[in-house]
Amino acid sequence: MVTVDFYEREEKFYGDGKSPLELMAEKRSQLIFKQRMSVGLTQSELAVQANVTQKTVSRIERGDTKVRETTLQKVYDVLGITEEHLMVLKGHPNT
Lowest-confidence segment of 35-39, 44-48, 86-90 by average pLDDT: 86-90
Query: DSSP letters along 24-82, please?
Result: HHHHHHHHHHHHHHHHT--HHHHHHHHTS-HHHHHHHHTT-S---HHHHHHHHHHHT--
Helix or strand or coil: residue 68?
Answer: coil
pLDDT tens-digit readout, 16-45: 678 888 888 999 999 999 999 999 999 999
CATH level 3 topology of 21-89: 434 Repressor (Amino-terminal Domain) (1.10.260)
Region 41-55 average pLDDT: 98
User: For residue 10, is pLDDT > 60?
Assistant: no
Measured between alpha carbons, how far is 94 from 21 in angstroms, rounded to an integer?
Answer: 21
Which pLDDT value is given to residue 38?
96
Which pLDDT value is given to residue 88?
78
User: For residue 57, is pLDDT > 80?
Assistant: yes
